[in-house]
Amino acid sequence: MPYLMIALMTALLAALMVALVAMLLAVLLAALLATLMASLYQHVMTTTGVLLQYKPALMLVILLSLMYIHKTRQNSFP
């Protein structure tokens, strides 16, 4: 009978340790994901800020690119 009790306690302890490790891994993964998302958000906002700072030049480049594409398309199909 004591062997059964020892086996049950060992199984309970093992299950508890597995649950603890799983929770620790979940917390670490969540922290890593949050850090990555914050870093990505900061990068996107910085890039957007830089693009908005040079908005007129960017619009001019886009307009010239579209005009060039339109002109080359017209010439390629007579």
Look up the pTM and report it. Answer: 0.49
Q: Could you say which DSSP state residue 12 is in?
A: H
Domain that holds residue 54: 2-76
Query: Which one is predicted more confidently, 69 or 55?
Result: 69
Asked if the model's pLDDT at residue 77 lies above 70, the reply is no
Q: What local confidence, expressed as pLDDT, does residue 35 receive?
A: 93
DSSP class per residue in 26-76: HHHHHHHHHHHHHHHHHHHHHHHHHHHHTHHHHHHHHHHHHHHHHHHHHHH
Q: Is 77 left (phi over 0), alpha (psi -120 to 50) or beta?
A: beta
Domain count, the chain: 1
pLDDT of residue 76: 62
**Interval 5-43: pLDDT, tens:** 999 999 999 999 999 999 999 999 999 999 999 888 888
